[in-house]
Structure 1
Amino acid sequence: MRTAFTIYRVDAEPEQAEADLPEQPGYRLLRDLLTPLLDGARFEHVAVLHQDEPADMFVDEFGALNGLPRNEAATKIYRNNWLTMHPGTPPDDLPAIYGTAVLFARRVWF
């Protein structure tokens, strides 16, 4: 199944891409796709709410610790779920995303 995803790099326009993935791709297929996109970093899954739908985003697990720059676009997507459920929360009280992030247009992490 063709699966759309968006690559959010720091200080760059989002990049649209697609990959052939089964309904439940599993760790190995996702690792093989994500590792080069995240510059070889160990990835972390974060569940997000994007365009009012649950989606899966993957980020560099140690981006903040490794001093990568903050990714404003990915941070906004990441925080949206919490802020939707808890309006009035100061956004800067929530964690941020650092480095490249990959957002899938559907759930891929099961």
Structure 2
Amino acid sequence: MRQLNNREIMAVSGGNFFDTLGAAILGGIVGATAGMMKAGTAGGMTGGILGVGVISAMVGAVVGCIAIGVQGVLYGMINGWDKTLEWFNTNTEQWFDHNAPLPK
């Protein structure tokens, strides 16, 4: 019995299930973290009623985490593992850039 290459595995029914599942999970994690930070920061900058913006930041963080997390899951399912992993690596490298206030 010979070993199948990647193209043949993807042609088999359900052959790329774990590829899609892993990409969806990874995309959800990336989307949730990036969305939480970006929406939380944008919500906190509005100032709110008293000029503090803490509640706006918390609401923005929760909404951003959920909304962009779902979008990240869909991104991973549609684009597959390779492109989602590239997105994850780019986003993670931006987290460790101490000169940038937020990932792009």
TM range (shorter): under 0.3
Larger radius of gyration: 2
**TM-score normalised to structure 1 length:** 0.26
Q: Which has the higher contact order (CA 8 A, sep 6+)?
A: 1
**What's the TM-score once normalised by structure 2's chain length?**
0.28
**Structure with the bigger percentage of strand:** 1
